[in-house]
A and B are shown apart, each in its own frame.
Chain A
């Protein structure tokens, strides 16, 4: 980045806002089509009821909750990169944090759809919020599901604020470059930002506090999501290892998703100067660490189950790799524990092709991890007479597919209207124009 100038940074980052390529429209069309598939399946579910979702007692949580946990997990890497790495002053964060934060917001927005889809009667979704009913009864604040509502709402709100505040100076840059009617929209969104000393002073203080407030959320949100499971006495769920295990898994999957999103963006928008191999290598290393923790957690789960001497717990853990859901278990192990080991090789960490391919495997593996936890435990609980083999229905799979369409559509639309690399922060990494430089750097 040493050869860049402030003016060049503004120009490069804003460029994609004005020049949509053919490839961009094709990708958008594919995403919208996937979204339509999901919308169609949801319409069928609304007309026919939750029966079409393939639930079969006792398996009353299936693909929707799996996909909910998957998307919440994806969000975590964004907050880790934007908040935690900001506090640790990790320089490599600058290039990738805007896209990661956008990913967080859209992933949590996607996740938020699933409790509504799963509850069936979406028009009563407001029942989730804490307010007393007509008999003046409040929700039970001791319930993990109520904790989850608080966790997800807080996470979405804080991430959205953090994201928007980070965008304001960059929106002001776009406002000053653009002409026509769009200028008015950017001017309104920039809130009159002019980068005065007073504004920057309070801005930097507030930004630090947002980072400090968002940091514990990285750990807390997925811990609370894990308690949706761990607080129940279901075999395979009732374990104290769940919070750290879920948090590590969330960061692992989120970093993989950042790779999946940023590698095509780098090619599409010619951002080789901003999204360098160095950035991607850092992400792959983060995946290696969190993937290692995850593998260790899988092993520890087995140890805990064996050491507990509880036949139901141990039975579930034997059932997972050998029973009906063995294929799910082994996809999970292969994609999360074995394939990412390739990143120990520097060649694999620095090849865009392999980074992208492995990141896709991790995404798949992490979805199957959640399916493995949910389906195999519920289908194989205490009473052998109640054991079933649940498989997702077409409607469930359609809605899950649609959620990817929804996520990518939001992301692609966002790329088109907002700077996806933080202009002001990139400039912080660029040598400022000095009169002592040869020639005019500005």
Chain B
């Protein structure tokens, strides 16, 4: 079976947005769009406001950190129970808040990093060659559609060309 793909290079943001919109209307799957900077309009057009799941990683990390902070401080104090004069508690919460807070922040940040790497699939060398275009980190926008049939490929080429792409490069491979 052979799969075909199309890469479009855009010099102008408005033309890229037009292409995304027309592909969506024509019933194409979500394309991969590359931009040299984060563009909220592109994100909105492709994901329709669906938030990134990275936030759950942050929450999980922060809660894990808080638990680590509580257990580390209290369990180690109880592990060597000393009689503290003046009726002061063995497990004293106020001085432990500092440790709990720091652990919450630290593990929250570490888990967020893991979440980011996981969802972005980083580090990677596996992205399609068509996306490895040096112009996409500079001043051009890229749009890539993969897994197309021959007919869909021609239709996509047509849409990208009429939308005003600077280059439209068809590609594909036999498997």
Q: Identify the A interface with B (CB < 8 A).
A: 5-7, 10, 130, 132, 136-138, 141-142, 146-147, 150-151, 153-154, 157-158, 161-162, 165, 169, 172-173, 175-177, 191-206, 209-210, 213-214, 216-217, 220, 224, 227, 423-425, 427-428, 432-437, 440-442
Contacts and interface: CB of A to CB of B under 8 A. Distances in A.
A210 B11 contact: no
Contact of A436 (B14, B80, B95, B131): B14
Contacts of A158: 105-106, 109
A142 B92 contact: yes
Contacts of A136: 79-80
B34 A435 contact: no
Nearest to B47: A201
Given A132-B76, A213-B58, 19 more contacts: A154-B103, A158-B105, A161-B113, A169-B37, A169-B137, A175-B137, A177-B138, A191-B123, A193-B122, A194-B127, A195-B34, A195-B36, A196-B131, A202-B54, A203-B38, A213-B109, A224-B98, A424-B36, A428-B38
A440 B15 CA distance: 13
B105 A435 contact: no
A131 to B, nearest CB: 10
A32 B99 CA distance: 37
Interface string B107-122: 0111011011101101
Interface string B77-97: 101100000000000100110
17 contacts: A137-B80, A141-B72, A141-B77, A142-B95, A147-B99, A151-B98, A157-B106, A191-B123, A200-B38, A202-B52, A202-B119, A206-B115, A206-B116, A423-B36, A434-B12, A435-B14, A442-B139
Given A7-B139, A151-B102, A176-B138, A141 B73 contact: yes
B164 interface: yes
B95 to A, nearest CB: 4
A202 B112 CA distance: 10
B55 A209 contact: yes
Contacts of A436: 14
Contacts of A227: 98
Contacts of B51: 205
A18 to B, nearest CB: 16
Given A147-B98, A173-B137, A210-B112, A204 B38 contact: yes
A433 B10 CA distance: 10
A6 B43 CA distance: 19
A216 B123 contact: no
Contact of A195 (B13, B119, B136): B136
Contacts of A172: 137
Instruction: Describe B's contact surface by its main secondary structure.
Output: helix
A33 B52 CA distance: 48
B134 interface: yes
Interface residues of B, number: 65
B43 A200 contact: yes
A433 B12 contact: yes
B113 to A, nearest CB: 5
Contact of B109 (A157, A205, A423): A157
Contact of B54 (A206, A214, A423): A206
B42 interface: yes
B174 interface: no
B164 A194 contact: no
Contact of B120 (A137, A175, A203, A213): A203
Contacts of A440: 11
A271 to B, nearest CB: 19
B69 to A, nearest CB: 9
B150 interface: no
B125 A192 contact: yes
A435 B12 CA distance: 6
Contacts of B47: 197, 201
Given A138-B76, A195-B34, A442 B109 contact: no
Nearest to A427: B37
B32 A192 contact: no
A347 B43 CA distance: 44
Given A203-B116, A205-B52, A440-B11, A177 B32 contact: no
A161 B34 contact: no
B123 A196 contact: no
A14 to B, nearest CB: 10
A435 B43 CA distance: 20
Of B80, B102, B113, B131, most buried by chain A (CB within 10 Å of CB) is B102
B124 interface: yes
B4 interface: no
Given A141-B99, A192-B122, A433-B139, A177 B36 contact: no
A248 B148 CA distance: 59
A150 B98 contact: yes
Contacts of B135: 176
A442 B32 contact: no
B120 A202 contact: yes
Nearest to B128: A194
Contacts of B159: none
A150 B103 contact: yes
Contacts of B126: 192
B131 to A, nearest CB: 5
A154 B65 CA distance: 12
Nearest to A205: B52
A437 to B, nearest CB: 8
A434 B138 contact: no
Contacts of B66: none
A28 to B, nearest CB: 29
A160 to B, nearest CB: 10
